[in-house]
Amino acid sequence: MPKIKLPEITMYYESCGAGEPLLLLPGALGTGESDFHYQIPWFGQCCQVIAPDPRGYGRSRPPERNYPLGFYQRDAEDMLALMSALGHESFAIMGWSDGANIAVLMAAQQPSCVKRLILWGGNSFLTHEELTAFQAIRSISSWSPRAVEGMRHTYGDALDGLWERYITGLEELYSSGGDIYQSRLHLVQCPTLILHGEKDPLVPSLHPAAIHRGIAKSQLHTFPEGKHNIHIKYSEEFNQIAFSFLAHGDNVSSGANTSLYLQ
């Protein structure tokens, strides 16, 4: 799969399919391939999927990843630069967790470029409760063996320092006021679908509700038993709902057609 030279970095991305461009944005420390195993080939049947590794993650290294106060905005600018370099003037975005945060910042900064947004697991601001939840898993020894195995495969011994820097970055963000993009939600103009697992241990329901209130053209759909990774646990249902929204915008039923049009 290809790499592309951007102004500050060289970015790796997965690419699959043809048609309307669809950008898939992974969560913290994640890569396009690891986070969207169930989405890349599925959506590649109807559109051109671009699933990058953000700067400092996966195969977009070097540089070594750091987390200044503006790291979410920096990622958004990286992704806008990627899509511009690939020749895509307009596109849809699906973003998970940190990827959801990056997606909203992209849509707020360049609303004419983003035609549809699908978000899950994101938060427009950081609360003390979430910071405490992340601090509780600061030690990688507290992770599940499966989660550790996947991340060790990508980062090896560098994982511990990378995760420590991420937690420190969140602490500094919280200390600065905790706003990620809550104050910019009104700038998002495109139709937006917000998905949420009601049993998400990292992102409580107040966050998708706040994003839904802040984005005028938004819908909220919940998975009653879902946790943080609804696109993995409920991949078939998730994909059908997302596809229906991408195709029709005002309909999130699972009975989607087989053609995709981004109006």
Residues belonging to the active site: 97, 200, 228
Contacts of 37 (CB under 8 A, 6+ apart): 232
What is d(CA 49, CA 19) in angstroms, rounded to the nearest whole number? 9
What is d(CA 136, CA 13) in angstroms, rounded to the nearest whole number? 32
Name the DSSP class of 66: -
Q: How many CB atoms lie within 10 A of CB 29?
A: 22
CB 120 within 8 A of CB 126: no
What is the Cα 138 distance to its own chain's centre? 21
CB 117 within 8 A of CB 191: yes
CB 238 within 8 A of CB 246: no
Residue written as token pair 């951007």: 6
